[in-house]
Amino acid sequence: MTTIIRIISDSIATMLSEEQQEEIISSHEQINNGLFVTQSDLDDEINKWLNK
């Protein structure tokens, strides 16, 4: 089924370079593998660093 979202997504994908598309795919894989830091955890780390 074709949706507006799919059409827009396909249009954006054609505007991205091959390198940009590969970076997005790599980022999705990292997220799926749990290789990310939540905003909350990052905020905690920054606050610890600022309070030293």
- CA dist 51 and 48 (Å) reads 5
Residues 6+ apart with CB under 8 A from 13: 21
pTM: 0.57
The CA-based angle 38-41-43, given to 5 degrees, is 105
Q: Give the tens place of pLDDT for each residue, 4-39.
A: 667 677 777 678 888 988 998 999 999 999 999 999
Count of structural domains within the chain: 1
Q: Which domain holds residue 28?
A: 4-50
Q: What is the pLDDT of residue 39?
A: 96
